[in-house]
């Protein structure tokens, strides 16, 4: 065909990604609270994020927005008054949403509230108790064995607060030529954990920054929500909009040292999956394919009433790596370069998605006379073997497919040609009024 698919230059945000990983990592995030606000405010340095608050007690479908939780400090002191567990050293040490307590207890009285992983003896696990009032501590198995004795008395302190507050969400709508929207969602509720999901948060911010640089055919709805309750809240408050969205990304776990992969959307045959595969293949990446399964916020977006086909491109997907939900998922495990690699894959996929316009041929009764519209060489018949097809041939094939139903990506698959070529040719036909864009 004499023309390669044209991809834009690879972006390099490694420096910025590294800077924001460092600044955001140790903030105490949860499903509500000041840590989430602080995180979103820092992201406002990168993109003009709109911060929205949804009050405690509001019903969102079958759920209720919980009380806001904030924590100042927590520790356990042994009988010598030494801090053997200290929230100031790692916010993973406290079970998220722990109730306040200040008591002296023997180990037997609170042993069941200490969480550790015997198989990963130097890692602190990450645990939550959002919807059942509870308190607890997480620590390494090594520390548990070192500092805890059956008959010793410990002073236990959690300085946390529950209040009628709000759940905080970040939102950015990047409007394109068409009102058709594509959803990009990431979750902000994890404290000091790098791959799951600070990597996704930072990637999404830089992806949005990149999208803001160009004009687009479609619009992008980018949201930063606490997992599950945040996605549900957003759906409940934007029901009509969300019902009109066909596909999207949930961006999570994009910064590990493992292989790139992608998790398919609800309908395995949806174009979003083919687009991602095509991009990964174009980059010669040996990738892992994960079938759709419950998982992250796609559980909400793909639910019966919404059925948004959300896929995830990831690098060390959640549940798949040993350090998942432990203190080992840190900034030694995650590298800015890995996130930048995944970012480039997302950008390339979005370029194809943005070109997946639906056109209608305005001349459905036999083909148009291309020469009359100035779209054909004046002298025809110059067939040269192996030169491949010329532009007017592509036009004729494309016109056969522009039925007002198939989008350009689907047509590119039928014609076995890169979407970039199809898109460019379609633009020429559009300029002459031969085909018209449907929104
Ligand atoms: Zn998680």
Separation of CA 127 and ligand 1 centre (Å): 10
Task: Tell how far the Cα of 198 is from the centroid of ligand 1, in angstroms.
Answer: 10
d(CA 247, CA 266) in angstroms, rounded, equals 10
Distance, CA 295 to ligand 1 centroid (Å)?
10
Q: What is the DSSP string of 130-145?
A: SSS-B--EE--HHHHH
> Rounded to the nearest whole angstrom, what is the distance from the C-alpha of residue 95 to the centroid of ligand 1?
14
Instruction: Output the pLDDT for position 439.
Output: 75
What are the two backbone dihedrals, phi and then psi, of residue 29, each rounded to the nearest 5 degrees? -100, 155
The Cα–Cα gap between 269 and 265 comes to 9
pLDDT value, residue 4: 42
Q: How many helices (H) and strands (E) does the chain have?
A: 13, 19
Q: pLDDT averaged over the chain?
A: 95
Between the CA of 248 and the centroid of ligand 1 the distance, in Å, is 20
How many angstroms does the Cα of residue 399 sit away from the middle of ligand 1? 47
Residue 293's pLDDT band (cuts 50, 70, 90): confident
What was the pLDDT predicted at 388?
A: 67
Task: Report the separation in Å between the CA atom of 108 and the middle of ligand 1, taken as the mean of its atom positions.
Answer: 30
2 confidence band (pLDDT: 50, 70, 90)? very low
Strands (E) located in 175-272:
181-187, 219-225, 247-250, 260-263
pLDDT (tens digit, 9 = 90+) per residue, 83-132?
999 999 999 999 999 999 999 999 999 999 999 999 999 999 999 999 99
Cα-to-centroid distance, 197 and ligand 1 (Å): 7
> Is residue 387's pLDDT more than 90?
no
232 Cα–ligand 1 center, Å? 17
**Distance from Cα 325 to the centre of ligand 1, integer Å:** 6
Band the pLDDT of 3: cuts 50, 70, 90.
very low
- Centre of ligand 1 to C-alpha 26, Å, is 16
| pLDDT mean over 325-347 | 98
CA 70 to centroid of ligand 1, rounded, Å: 19
> Ligand 1 centre from 180 Cα, in Å?
30
Query: How many angstroms separate the alpha carbon of residue 346 from the centre of ligand 1?
Result: 21
Looking at residue 8, its pLDDT comes to 67
**Ligand 1 center–CA 67 separation, angstroms:** 21
30 CA to centre of ligand 1 in angstroms? 11
What tens digit of pLDDT does each residue of 147-193 get?
Answer: 999 989 999 999 999 999 999 999 999 999 999 999 999 999 999 99
Q: 126: Cβ–Cβ under 8 A, 6 or more apart, which residues? A: 92, 96, 138, 190, 191, 193, 325, 326, 327
Distance CA 283, CA 297 (A): 28
For ligand 1, the distance from its centroid to the CA atom of residue 422, given in whole angstroms, is 40
Flag whether pLDDT at 1 surpasses 60: no
Residue with tokens 């023309």: 3
What is the whole-number distance in angstroms between the Cα of residue 93 and the centre of ligand 1? 16
Ligand 1 centroid from CA 196, angstroms: 5
CA of 104 to the centre of ligand 1 (A): 32
Distance 365 CA to ligand 1 centre (A): 55
Residue 85 and residue 150 in contact, taking contact as beta carbons nearer than 8 Å: no
Mean pLDDT confidence for 9-38:
97
Whether pLDDT at 418 is above 80: yes
CA of 191 to the centre of ligand 1 (A): 10
Distance 252 CA to ligand 1 centre (A): 9
Q: How far is the CA of 35 from the centre of ligand 1 (A)?
A: 17
What value does the mean pLDDT take over residues 404-432? 96
Specify the DSSP element, H or E, that contains 153.
strand 153-163
Q: How far does the centroid of ligand 1 lie from the alpha carbon of residue 78, in Å? A: 31
Share of the chain above pLDDT 70, in %: 95
Q: How far is the CA of 400 from the centre of ligand 1 (A)?
A: 47
Helix (H, G, I), strand (E, B), or coil: what is residue 207? Answer: helix
Give residue 210 CA to ligand 1 midpoint distance, Å.
Answer: 26
Report the separation in Å between the CA atom of 190 and the middle of ligand 1, taken as the mean of its atom positions.
7
Helices (H), 256-390: 271-282, 298-301, 336-355
pLDDT class for 364, splitting at 50, 70, 90?
very high
Instruction: Cis check for the bond before 146: say yes or no (omega within 30 of 0).
Output: no
| pLDDT band with cut points at 50, 70 and 90 for residue 382 | low
């Amino acid at each position: 065909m004499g023309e390669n698919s044209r991809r834009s230059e690879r972006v390099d945000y490694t420096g910025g990604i590294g800077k924001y990983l460092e600044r955001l990592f140790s903030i105490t995030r949860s499903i509500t609270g000041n840590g989430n606000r602080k995180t979103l405010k820092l992201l406002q340095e990168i993109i003009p994020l709109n911060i929205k608050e949804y009050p405690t007690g509001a019903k969102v479908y079958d759920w209720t927005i919980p009380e806001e939780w904030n924590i100042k400090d927590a520790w356990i002191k042994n009988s010598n008054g030494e801090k053997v567990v200290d929230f100031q050293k790692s916010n993973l040490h406290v079970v998220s949403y722990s109730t306040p307590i200040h008591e002296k207890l023997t180990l037997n009285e609170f042993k069941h509230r200490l969480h550790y992983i015997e198989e990963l003896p130097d890692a602190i696990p990450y645990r939550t108790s959002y919807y059942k009032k509870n308190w607890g501590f997480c620590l390494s198995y090594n520390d548990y064995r070192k500092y805890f004795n059956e008959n010793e008395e410990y002073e236990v302190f959690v300085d946390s607060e529950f209040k009628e507050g709000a759940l905080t969400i970040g939102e950015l709508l990047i409007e394109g030529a068409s009102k058709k929207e594509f959803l990009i969602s990431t979750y902000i509720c994890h404290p000091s954990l790098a791959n799951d999901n600070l990597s996704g948060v930072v990637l999404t911010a830089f992806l949005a920054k990149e999208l803001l640089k160009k004009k687009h055919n479609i619009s992008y709805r980018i949201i930063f929500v606490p997992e599950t309750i945040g996605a549900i809240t957003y759906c409940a408050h934007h029901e009509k909009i969300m019902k009109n969205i066909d596909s999207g990304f949930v961006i999570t776990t994009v910064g590990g040292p493992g292989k790139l992969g992608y998790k398919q959307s609800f309908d395995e045959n949806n174009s979003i999956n083919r687009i991602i595969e095509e991009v990964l293949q174009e980059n010669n990446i040996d990738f892992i394919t994960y079938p759709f399964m419950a998982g992250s916020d796609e559980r909400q977006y793909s639910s019966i009433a919404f059925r948004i086909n959300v896929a995830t491109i990831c690098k060390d997907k959640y549940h798949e790596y040993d350090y998942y939900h432990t203190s080992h998922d840190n900034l030694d495990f995650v590298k800015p370069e890995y996130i930048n690699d995944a970012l480039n894959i997302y950008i390339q996929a979005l370029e194809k998605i943005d070109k997946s316009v639906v056109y209608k041929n305005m001349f459905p009764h036999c083909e148009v006379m291309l020469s009359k519209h100035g779209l054909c060489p004046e002298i025809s018949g110059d067939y040269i073997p192996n030169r491949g097809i010329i532009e007017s041939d592509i036009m004729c094939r494309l016109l056969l497919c522009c039925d007002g139903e198939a989008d350009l990506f689907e047509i590119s698959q039928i014609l076995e040609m890169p979407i970039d070529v199809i898109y460019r040719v379609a633009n020429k036909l559009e300029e002459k009024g031969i085909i018209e864009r449907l929104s």
